[in-house]
Amino acid sequence: MKKTCLKFFALPLFFLLARNPLAEDRLPKPELEFLFEMTATLEPPQELGRTQYGTRRIINISGGTFSGPKIKGTVLRGGADWQTVREDGTADLVARYSLKTDDGLIIYVENTGIRTAPRAVLDRLARGEDVPPSEYYMRTAARMEVTAGSKYDWLNRSVILSTGMRRADSVVIRFYRVL
């Protein structure tokens, strides 16, 4: 019986430890290229209340700026973050907004992710306290659309990740392109 148990566990362990040298030699390791940092100003949250999916809130975006090595401009008024807050306090983030580059192009952004932390940290954020971003996890993935053929067309074909920080009346997000 003991030998059978060892065989049962040894085979999956072998596959976990086995390496595929062909894939390791050919597959690139992802790297991140910093794109820009955005500060979006926010209106007070509209609390819709508890629904069958969680507590819903909408946070309208009133403006802001963004800047990076290859791109900069303003955050246009009119976007929002539609949040669903789970029982444990984790917020599912779905933000849609527009950016306008300094040379006049409009970029549509759809940014989805989560913000989570221990309840005490989330309570501090809810009160508008300045909580260091190291105390919570706020990560998103953005899809960006811009005029095809423009100098920012590469955004249409990029996987973009971001990390964020919530302030009392704004959010700061750093965007990175996965290489």
Q: Report mean pLDDT in 10-residue bins for the chain, 179 residues.
A: 57 61 78 98 95 94 98 98 95 98 98 97 92 97 97 97 96 98
Convert 16-55 to b/e letters by CB count within 10 Å (16 or more is b).
eeeeeeeeeeeeeeeeeeebbebbbbbeeeeeeeeeeebb
Of 75, 62, 148, whose CA–CA distance to 109 is shortest?
75
Fold classification of 29-178 is Porin (2.40.160)
pLDDT of 18: 64
pLDDT of 26: 82
Query: How do the domains of the chain map onto residue ranges?
Result: 29-178
pLDDT of 1: 57
